[in-house]
Amino acid sequence: MKSHRVPRRWFLASAGAALGCSQDTRPRLNAYNWSTYIDPAMLARFESEHGVSVRYGTYESNEEMLAKVMTGNSGWDVVFPTHSRLAPMARNGLIAPLDHKRLPSLGNLDPRFQRPEWDINLQWGLPYMWNATGVVYNREQVAEPRGWADLWNPALRGRLTMLDDAEDVIGACLQKSGAPFGSIDARQLQTAKADAVRQKGLLRAYLNAEVRDQLIAGDVLAGQLWSTTAAQAMAASPKIGFVFPIEGYPLYCDCAVILHESSRYELAHEFLEFLLRPDVAAANARVGETATANAAARALLPHNPVLYPEASVYRRGVWPSALPSAAQRYRDRLWTEIKSA
Amino acid sequence: MALFFLLPLVIVFACSLLTRGDYGGVEQPWTLESYLRILDPLYLAIFWRSLWIATVATALCSLLGFPLALFVARAGKRRNLYLQLVLLPFWTSFLVRTYAWLFILRDTGLVNTVLLRMHLIAGPLPLLYNDGAVLLGLVYNFLPFFVLPVYAALERLDPALAEAAADLGARPWPVLWRVIVPLSAPGIMAGAVLLFIPCLGAYLIPDLLGGGKTVMLGNLVQNQFTTARDWPFGSAASLVLMLLSALVLAGLVRSRVARELL
């Protein structure tokens, strides 16, 4: 998942670490994860199997988690950053390397995630759930879109949405014109900004997960959306469709990492090994209807081409990496310009 | 107690003078850069826009709130009941109330459904995700802040004054304009300030009801602390916002009506 799959407005209200303290003397593992990313029954099973307690908290954006973890004494042992945050977190000494000897079930991972480009030796993070951004549409009222360019169709005026997310919106505008999703070229970014401003006249709003209800109700006919949210909308209404844009699209993978500050290195590995079990991974994927990185678990789950695109479609996807600080800042400015236009 | 309030402010101030960390947080060296960036026309426009929207919301609230306060103040025995009704929305969460407006205003929402059923409109009206919806949300949520101080001022007003004006030949409208409004001015000013300041910093309402299509000061600050990961600029912008609020307050304190109030 990607930053704020659920509206970022909740960032203040999120449950966070407020689960309170228990009085038992069992060793305690502290896990901090995205919401709806774990089956509570699986946590209970881990507790009883290992004779430990788990303090479990949830967050809604990488930034919310990073703000706590950056302090170096957040009190969490295992967190789940998106793949692009692994390198910066490792550079800042926030995460401990994985010990593969303690993770014998690594082979359960989908071959795509055995040597991912962002962490080629799986040194820092255990791929957990993944997700893409694409185009969602109403099959009854709109012809099947092919890519991002179709989101500039004047016929969609007022019934079109884009994500409220700078990286995804600017990235889609870049890909529409054939530029790379993570471009830092000022000219390409200016073209993308001009496209975004032009599109804004057609837009109903910039919405994240909350667009789901309006898609189902038929208020919104097309838009940019995360595949996980789209799959939820499709499960609720057969008239919703989803395409992976022809120009390319971004992929995101959330990975379990063990924090450097953790004093429970072994227990944390046991937890990761537990998450790798096929039945556990399948149960966790079912809770939020998300795509697991665990191939052995997938065999236990129904096939869903939106969550698991076929090989030829998957090849068009890119895994964005963290941008250099100056480029990030330039994009933030462009985003403010787009929003103020 | 003073420490309790001041410490966070001191930290925000220190943050605003530092340099942005690559992944959030702040780093050395000390710099004024964040304050200079606010002078950029892009950000000045956001300040201007927020001031404008807060002003319009305050004006709308005054137009709606004054008659309401007058009505409650003159309601006799029912006064307390009406007062409770004004405060009733506060019994639920601000967030829930704002979400409720989404369901009222959207294309398949309450208003459009009723109008469509009555054949008054051919297609759904675009009620959501525009400045009108943002203003509606601001007025709806902050109206009680205006009504209460105005009500307090009107309630203290001696009814004999209005009666005397009427006895001396004033028609109801001049009585209102030349007697009641001037005498309740301190309450109106207090209400306007109580309303203007939260409107200026609002970020949830523009985000939810404006659909993220506009940036107000609150959104700018919030974005700096989340996706933009620019704590110094966020801190500087929030301090300037505070300064603006303080100026509005100072304006009130120095005005004549305030002296009468205090």
User: Which of A82, A141, A219 is the mutation pick for testing B, counting most B CBs within 10 A?
Assistant: A219
For residue B172, what pLDDT is reported?
Answer: 80
Strands A240-243, A160-162: pairing is unpaired
Rounded Cα distance, A196 and A162, in Å: 10
User: What per-residue confidence (pLDDT) applies to A284?
Assistant: 96
DSSP string, A239-295: TEEEE--TT-EEEEEEEEEEETT-S-HHHHHHHHHHHHSHHHHHHHHHHHT-EESBH
Whether residue B211 and residue A206 make contact (CB cut-off 8 A), yes or no, is: yes
How many CB atoms lie under 10 A from the CB of residue A318? 16
**Cβ pair A340:B126 closer than 8 A:** no
Position B259, amino acid:
R
pLDDT given for residue B178 in this prediction: 81
Q: Which residues of A touch B21 (CB under 8 A)?
A: 70
Q: Where are the beta strands (DSSP E) in chain A?
A: 28-34, 53-59, 78-79, 95-96, 126-138, 160-162, 203-206, 222-226, 240-243, 249-259, 291-292, 317-318
CA-closest candidate to residue B129, choices A119, A309, A146, A205: A205
Interchain proximity B23–A88, CB inside 8 Å: yes
Question: Could you tell me which CATH class the domain A8-130+252-308 is placed in?
Answer: alpha beta
Outline which parts of chain A fall under CATH 3.40.190.10. Answer: 8-130+252-308, 131-250+319-340
pLDDT in tens, chain A (341 residues): 554 444 444 444 444 444 444 456 789 999 999 988 999 999 999 999 999 999 999 998 888 898 889 888 899 999 999 999 999 999 989 999 999 999 999 999 999 999 999 999 999 999 999 999 999 999 999 999 999 999 999 999 999 999 999 999 999 999 999 999 999 999 999 999 999 999 999 999 999 888 999 999 999 999 999 999 999 999 999 999 999 999 999 999 999 999 999 999 999 999 999 999 999 999 999 998 899 999 999 999 999 999 999 999 999 999 999 888 888 889 999 999 999 98
Interface contacts (A, B; CB < 8 Å): 101
Q: Which residue of B has its CA nearest to A201?
A: B213
CB contact under 8 A, A219 and B107: yes
Contact check, Cβ <8 Å, B211/A3: no
Q: What is the pLDDT of residue A209?
A: 87
- Residue B32 is given by DSSP the state S
Closest chain B residue to A86, measured at CA = B23
Chain A, window 227-246: residues with a beta carbon less than 8 angstroms from a chain B beta carbon:
none
- The beta-carbon neighbor of A204 closest among B108, B211, B215 is B211
Alpha carbon separation from B169 to B74, B157, B160, B163 (Å, rounded): 21, 20, 14, 10
Which pLDDT score, from 0 to 100, does residue A25 have?
A: 77
Mutate to test the interface with A, among B11, B19, B20, B22 (most CBs of A within 10 A): B22
List of chain B residues whose C-beta atoms are within 8 Å of the C-beta of residue A88:
22-23
Q: pLDDT tens digits for B96-144?
A: 999 999 889 988 889 999 999 998 888 888 888 999 999 999 999 999 9
Contacts of A166 in chain B (CB under 8 A): 227-228
Backbone angles phi, psi at A161, to 5 degrees: -130, 155
List chain A residues with CB under 8 Å of B228. 166, 328-329, 332, 335
Quickly list DSSP for B18-30: SEEPBTBSEESS-
> Which tens digit of pLDDT belongs to each residue from A20-77?
444 567 899 999 999 889 999 999 999 999 999 999 999 988 888 988 898 888 999 9
CATH of A131-250+319-340, one of 3.30.499.10, 3.40.190.10, 3.40.50.2300, 1.25.40.80: 3.40.190.10
Reduce the secondary structure of A202-226 to three states and give it as a string. Answer: CEEEECCCCHHHHHHHCCCCEEEEE
Q: Do A207 and B211 touch (CB under 8 A)?
A: yes
Q: How far is A332 from chain B (nearest CA, A)?
A: 6
Predicted confidence at residue B256, as pLDDT, reads 57
> Which stretches of chain B sit within 8 Å of chain A by CB?
20-25, 42-43, 45-46, 49, 95, 102, 106-108, 124, 126, 128-129, 204, 207-208, 210-215, 219-220, 222-223, 225-230
Q: Which amino acid is at A142?
A: V
As its CATH architecture, domain B41-219 has Orthogonal Bundle (1.10)
CA distance A267 to chain B (A): 28
Q: Say yes or no: ipTM exceeds 0.90.
A: no
Residues of A in contact with B113 (CB under 8 A): none
The list of chain B residues with pLDDT below 50 reads 262
What pTM value is reported for the model? 0.86
DSSP string, B160-219: HHHHHHHHTT--HHHHIIIIIHHHTHHHHHHHHHHHHHHHHH--HHHHHHSTT-S--HHH
